Chain A
């Protein structure tokens, strides 16, 4: 009977092979800390900014008239907030997009505050002393979203 010599491979060599394979896989990949650029979020935010600005400017013009009162314009706030939610849903679908999602939520909060200002204005509506700073602050938020979204193009 022949002696059968079993040669056992050292266990660590298969682990080493796996480690090298994993390292190669990592080096072959591109790392992403932030989601890719989304032109829908970019363009939708720009369109929303235009709608908000147009609405606020109209309300400033109509301030002090029945057409400028909140009650005659509450549907607009519903539409604007629905648009904010639509952009948020789109942004939430991408991974590693928490920053953009939070920024969109902040726009929603400021539109809610704008609505409260309008309600509080009663029959004076949205006067310039309230509407002007409110619009500046909303535009700062829109700029922040678009600035970051464009940066996600990564020089492409």
Chain B
């Protein structure tokens, strides 16, 4: 069955959305754009291999590059997730800080 860019991109996006539920709204457009490029690269490599434009060694090296690039994208999604969590924690600490200062009637913290 021939590979389809849109189907592949959709599957990659769905897998990532399932793993990164909380931070998905923050990374959705970035992830969709990058998965589209990765899917395109995978399909291109497959087609070139079938057409004999690239050999087995070249196909394997390109798929290794694709694996590394996919990992880089997932790391960015994970990193943005950490930043989102950090912002949430600091927002909560700000609330406590404000409450303490208000209760004491001075800027203690």
Chain A residues proximal to chain B, CB less than 8 Å: 24, 26-34, 99-100, 102-103, 106-107, 109-110, 113-114, 116-117, 120, 129-130, 132-134, 136-138, 140-141, 143-145, 147-148, 151-152, 154
Q: Which residues of B contact A143 (CB under 8 A)?
A: 34
Q: Which residues on B are within 8 Å of A, measured CB to CB?
A: 30, 34, 37-38, 40-41, 44-45, 48, 53-54, 57-58, 61-62, 64-66, 68-69, 71-73, 75-76, 78-80, 82-83, 85-87, 89-90, 93, 96-97, 100, 108-109
Instruction: With both chains docked as a complex, state the minimum distance between the C-beta of B39 and any C-beta of chain A, in angstroms.
Output: 11
Pairwise interchain contact B54-A130, C-beta atoms closer than 8 A: yes
Chain A residues with CB under 8 A of B61:
113, 116-117, 120
Residues on the B chain within 8 Å of A133, using CB: 41, 44-45, 48, 62, 65-66
- Please judge, given known A-B contacts A28-B97, A110-B69, whether A147 and B30 are in contact too, CB under 8 Å: yes
B86 to A31, Cβ gap below 8 A?
Answer: yes
Contact between B86 and A32, CB atoms less than 8 A apart? yes
Query: Nearest chain A CB to B90's CB is how many angstroms away?
Result: 6
